[in-house]
Structure 1
Amino acid sequence: MDTPPAPSRQRVLRAISRHGPVTTTALGDLLGITDTAVRRQVDLLLEAGLIAEHDNPLARRGRGRPARAYVVSDAGHRRLTSDYDQLAEEALRFLAETGGSEAVAAFARQRTRDWEDRYAAELAGIDDPHARVTALVTALTRDGFDATARPLGIPRRSGAGTGIQLCQGHCPVQHVAAQFPQFCDAEAEAFSRLLGVHVQRLATLAHGDHVCTTYVPTESPTEGTTR
């Protein structure tokens, strides 16, 4: 029988999901536990195949030696996800075969609308774009998406736009979305409506990336300039 991770390992697994790629030193700081305790849990998670080492050239230790950083593996994401994946995949395949791709898209939009309505109520009255993203991150994390956000500038042909990089370290429908991208599309469309801007999906767990990444523009390249 597959034994679930102990609570301490579950905390570490969740922290890696939310902040990965992340080093053991950073994990210790985030969780408030000793480096020895973190390493013990990381070793157990590695042995169980729930996390994997990730090449992170930005994390350096000593002279040019990259520190080991970790991300959640496919098995780890399956552990964080409910056991209904197989049933959901079978149901969606049947829906696609009988109703076509638009039927799957309609279902994805309906599923997204359930949490979008809740989030919209929480974001109501928040006008500052950064504060809206922060509120969305809080709501997503509460619902198990392990979300974070950080400022980001993306060069464009006409200048440099500024924005926020919204990351989701875990996706409860990752394995379903790998077969049915309509779920990723519906989520991105909901983010655009909630934040009042056109967001751009840069990476997804469903496509094999270690995190879902969405670019949220907060200022256009020409904003604040005069003609």
Structure 2
Amino acid sequence: MSRGWTAPAGAGVPIVTGDTKVVGRGAADRLFVITAGLGRRLPGSSPTAAGARSGDAVLMSGPIGCHGVTVLSTREGLGFEADVTSDSRPLHRLVAMMVAAGGADLHTLRDPTRGGLAAALNEIAAASSVGVRVEEKALPVPEPVRAACEMLGLDPAYVANEGCLVAFVAPGAAGRVLSAMRQMPEGRDAVRIGTVLAGGPVLVRTAIGSQRVLDMPLGEHLPRIC
């Protein structure tokens, strides 16, 4: 089987149909992949962007910035490919484990894709009317990603991801959910990165103890991935 077919097989996802996309001459560089998914709701939990509550723990399933740096490097020939690879992977098994461990205490789930972690946190904070404080030293940024972002003048919190998620969990269940996440290959590097506040903006507490606002991304997302 080709790699294109083994990925769905490994995720336990059958391919049942296909589609085509028509674009103008010269507008397609190589290949477009179009997908649509059918699933079932897991009982016992109803995570929503508006469900975050003051005191919730903010959990991250794995490193950030890998996908965006990989895409940018590949498109522009920057040479980071040897050190950074995309984090693209299915997360449904990880989510099922989290729901089993946290149930109704699992308040919010979000994949930090376009706009990165910064966009995801700001969208959740706005929908839930809460603030968020993130610990900079807890952010899981791989060293090659950090180095690439420093060279390009990018903040890893704004770089796109494809194979990780951010979760807002009631404080009493945070340890249990984090332990469950680390039992899965997709969550073995899961960490707690922050706490939900009663109000205010999304803040980052730096290593020296100061705080800065992590704003919603403005303008074009780099790299543009969709």
Q: Same fold (TM over 0.5)?
A: no
Higher strand content, 1 or 2: 1
TM-score range, shorter chain: under 0.3
